Amino acid sequence: MANSKWVCFDCRSTYNREHRMCPTCGEDVKFVGQYFKPPKKSNDKEWQAIKILHDAGIRYQHGAVDLQSSLLDTYLENPDHLTEKELLTIIRTASFYYRAYTLKWMAGERPRHPRSAQAYLEKIEARKPLMLGIVQSVADKLGRDHPVVQQALADIQELQ
């Protein structure tokens, strides 16, 4: 895994290549993803939050998504007044988000406190069924024989 980040949570050291054990303290190192940016070693709360996310399977990976999307919010507010092109973008985005939430990829600002890390995990679990519902709804609008719809449904089916 080129350019991957590995972390020792005991001594709060970060490595750019895989080690089985931390060269500093001898404890196991954990894979956190290629886009991980460590906080200062003295920041106890952030390290606790990162550990909570890591233990829940969250990784800082390419293709990760944030919890917000204005296009999806627009669809939820007014699903009947969008063009076919916008609907195609929505189904691609919603299926991609569902995939990222299921695979537990993270992007954007990481939670900085253990409570906010827990809230982040709860939001991911709440957004997964929402994304699935959006994909199903748009699939019904566009027709399930459309190639983009078939691809989105296949991507989701692969994860279930």
Per-residue pLDDT of the chain (160 residues; tens, 9 = 90+): 456 789 999 999 888 877 788 888 889 899 888 888 888 999 999 999 999 989 988 888 765 555 556 777 778 888 888 888 888 888 988 888 888 888 888 766 678 889 988 988 888 888 889 889 999 999 999 999 999 999 999 988 888 7
pLDDT at site 89: 86
Read off the pTM. Answer: 0.73
Q: Does residue 114 sit in helix, strand or coil?
A: helix
pLDDT at site 7: 92
Partners of 31 in the β-ladder: 6
User: What residue spans of 40-113 are helical by DSSP H?
Assistant: 44-55, 70-77, 84-103
Residues 6+ apart with CB under 8 A from 20: 28, 29
**Maximal CA-CA distance, the chain:** 59
Closest CA relative to residue 96, chosen from 127, 136, 65: 65
Contact of 29 with 22, CB cutoff 8 Å: yes
Contact of 156 with 129, CB cutoff 8 Å: no
Report the distance separating Cα 65 and Cα 52, nearest Å: 19
pLDDT at site 47: 93
pLDDT at site 3: 67
Report the distance separating Cα 86 and Cα 80, nearest Å: 11
